[in-house]
Structure 1
Amino acid sequence: MSKERDYYFEQYQDRKMKKWAGFYLSEHTAIIEQEKKQEPAKKKVQMSWLAINEILAQAFQNQLEVMIQKEELDCEGNYGADIIGLIQGHDELGIYVGGHKIGYDEIRHVQIH
């Protein structure tokens, strides 16, 4: 190796993570900004099981989309986004909506969308 090259590597200081900061794609930064702007879902009224059952039956029979808020909080104490879609099926434990299995005991609020 030449003396110049040896000198360069002796003096070089790696910037560590700083050098990788510029490698975010515009799609990544757009998604990050969108997630920051999303407001937490508002708490909806807890419905009785009878009211939930009536709406689910009506939506299933008439092939209507439903909007379901699950009784589930994130680590910050906020409700997640509503699950929207057609009821694709059901069993004794829950229903299938938009590719999600939702247990009957997890449903907080449901409405026709």
Structure 2
Amino acid sequence: MSKERDYYFEQYQDRKMKKWAGFYLSEHTAIIAKEKKKRPPEQKEQMSWEEIDTILAKAYQEQYSVAIQKEELDSEGNYSEDIIGCIQGHDELGIYIADQKVGYDEIRHVQLN
């Protein structure tokens, strides 16, 4: 048995740091995700009403998901998280998305998801 064992260790090639890469990567991505949640959402560019209207019309007609940044700021001066989802309906004052109503005048930025 000793000869077999010696042969195994003569042929074995240690992968050194490669074997730890998966562990490091998963921990690293978990830390990045945690830190990303702490950061407030970035301010996106103010779009013109024509740009907003064009994107909303396309999203509604073709049932695309959109991400909407509202104009409002929280008590610390940060923008809230984007409202993401498909447009469920609309009226003359705003759109219905993600089970809430967003007024047309509240929309700062919209993009297709």
Q: Could you tell me how far apart the structure 1 residues matched to 2:100 and 2:86 are?
A: 11
**Under a length normalisation based on structure 2, what TM-score does the superposition of the two structures give?**
0.67
Q: % of aligned pairs identical?
A: 64
Match of 2:16 in 1: none
Which amino acid letter does the alignment assign opposite residue 91 of structure 1? D
Q: Could you tell me how far apart the structure 2 residues matched to 1:86 and 1:97 are?
A: 6
Question: SS at the partner of 1:47?
Answer: coil
Large movers: runs of 4+ above 2 Å: none
Which amino acid letter does the alignment assign opposite residue 65 of structure 1? S
Match of 2:42 in 1: 42
Match of 2:101 in 1: 101
Match of 1:51 in 2: 51
Which amino acid letter does the alignment assign opposite residue 82 of structure 1? D
Question: SS at the partner of 2:53?
Answer: helix
Match of 2:71 in 1: 71
RMSD of aligned residue pairs (Cα, Å): 1.7
**Structure 2 stretches lacking a partner, 5+ long:** 1-33
Question: SS at the partner of 1:105?
Answer: helix
**Under a length normalisation based on structure 1, what TM-score does the superposition of the two structures give?**
0.67
**Structure 1 stretches lacking a partner, 5+ long:** 1-33
Q: Could you tell me how far apart the structure 1 residues matched to 2:108 and 2:48 are?
A: 9
